[in-house]
Amino acid sequence: MVVEVGPGLGSLTLALLPAARRLYAVEIDPRLAARLPATVAGHAPQHADRLRVLAADALRIGADAFAEPPTALVANLPYNVAVPVLLHLLSQLPTLAHGLIMVQQEVADRLTAGPGSRTYGVPSAKLAWYAAARSAGSVGRSVFWPVPNVDSGLVAFTRHDPPAMPAAPAPPDEAAPGAGAPGATVSREAVFAVVDAAFAQRRKTLRAALGRWAGSPPRAEQLLRSAGVNPSARGESLTIAEFARIAAAAR
């Protein structure tokens, strides 16, 4: 059960159909969406019954649009909305277990970067909440016509469970109630709010960058300590598990 976002004229669609039991092609342009069945009927008639075209915006689509739960995303993602589309689909389609996407090379670098890397940021940390991602190669601009002014990169991902909350390392009098308790859960929205705040001012220490989010820098420092995170660190050095611990400390 494959989802392809932005099939356009259908060149990738035609390559995917032999390998997919069902292919949901999500295309925002109604003229391109309307042409796709005829393209497939003309070039791959033996697989035409596998295709389902959804004339829709991938940024707004939900699980109810799919008659069968999709398990894989394979797409040459529209470059201007690649990250929001990827994160939206991972949030809306819990059955999406893995995928291979082509995006602009800079975006591929950001999606696959780990903590401490210059390119590690909001897309890397948020994707890490959902999945393990790795670079799966690069595609030079010269293979496209017209030649674009960017290179492209392939990103492969495999969904994993969100980080588990470990026991709070701080003494009980410093810890917020319930912070970091074993097995405790924290919402994705709460974790992503910490990620957004930390990277909004990525050059600042977490104590300063999270000041507004926490209410004040001293309160941010208190929460960071109870989460076992150095208040002098910067967001770019934190794993998604550490962001989750900070969010848990604030509950």
Ligand X SMILES: C[S@@+](CC[C@H](N)C(=O)[O-])C[C@H]1O[C@@H](n2cnc3c(N)ncnc32)[C@H](O)[C@@H]1O
Question: Between 45 and 74, how does the x/- string for binding to ligand X read (CB under 6 A)?
Answer: ------------xxx---------------
Q: Is 6 annotated as a binding residue?
A: yes
Q: Is 101 a binder of ligand X (CB under 6 A)?
A: no
Q: Which residue in 78, 162, 166, 169 binds ligand X (CB under 6 A)?
A: 78
Q: Which residue in 1, 3, 5, 224 binds ligand X (CB under 6 A)?
A: 5
Q: Is 57 annotated as a binding residue?
A: yes
Q: Is 163 a binder of ligand X (CB under 6 A)?
A: no
Q: Is 81 a binder of ligand X (CB under 6 A)?
A: yes
Cα–Cα distance between 82 and 41 in angstroms, integer? 29
Cα–Cα distance between 86 and 131 in angstroms, integer? 11
DSSP assignments along 13-80, one per residue: HHHHGGG-SSEEEEES-HHHHHHHHHHHHHH-GGGGGGEEEEES-TTT--GGG-SS---EEEEE--GG
Q: Is 235 a binder of ligand X (CB under 6 A)?
A: no
Count of beta carbons in the 10 Å neighbourhood of residue 247 = 24
Q: Which residue in 1, 14, 26, 87 binds ligand X (CB under 6 A)?
A: 26
Select 7 or 70, whichever has its Cβ closest to ligand X. 7
Q: Is 196 a binder of ligand X (CB under 6 A)?
A: no
82 burial class (0-12, 13-18, 19+ CB within 10 angstroms)? buried
Q: Is 27 annotated as a binding residue?
A: yes
User: Contacts from 30-36 at CB under 8 Å and sequence distance 24+?
Assistant: 30/55, 32/7, 32/8, 35/9, 35/10, 36/7, 36/10
How many residues would you count in the chain?
Answer: 251
Q: Nearest approach, Cβ of 10 to ligand X (angstroms)? A: 7
Q: Is 150 a binder of ligand X (CB under 6 A)?
A: no
3-state secondary structure of 217: helix
- Which residues sit at the interface with ligand X, rule CB under 6 A? 5-8, 11-12, 26-29, 32, 57-59, 76, 78, 81
Residue set of the binding site for S-adenosyl-L-methionine = 1, 6, 27, 57, 76
